Amino acid sequence: DSGVTQTPKHLITATGQRVTLRCSPRSGDLSVYWYQQSLDQGLQFLIQYYNGEERAKGNILERFSAQQFPDLHSELNLSSLELGDSALYFCASSSQHYTQYFGPGTRLTVL
Partner 1 sequence: GQQVMQIPQYQHVQEGEDFTTYCNSSTTLSNIQWYKQRPGGHPVFLIQLVKSGEVKKQKRLTFQFGEAKKNSSLHITATQTTDVGTYFCAGRDSGGYQKVTFGTGTKLQVIP
Instruction: Kindly list the residues in this chain that would bind partner 1 in the complex (CB under 8 A).
Output: 2, 35, 40, 42-43, 45, 55-56, 90, 92, 98-105
3 neighbors 99 (Cβ within 8 angstroms)? no
Considering the complex, state which of residue 43 and residue 60 has its C-beta at the smaller distance from partner 1.
43
Considering the complex, state which of residue 72 and residue 92 has its C-beta at the smaller distance from partner 1.
92
DSSP state string for 10-64: EEEE-TT--EEEEEEPPTT--EEEEEEE-TT---EEEEEEETTEEEEE-S--TTE
Considering the complex, state which of residue 43 and residue 61 has its C-beta at the smaller distance from partner 1.
43
Residue 6 Cβ vs partner 1, minimum distance, rounded to whole Å: 9
Considering the complex, state which of residue 70 and residue 96 has its C-beta at the smaller distance from partner 1.
96
Of 1, 12, 5, nearest in space to 109 by CA: 12
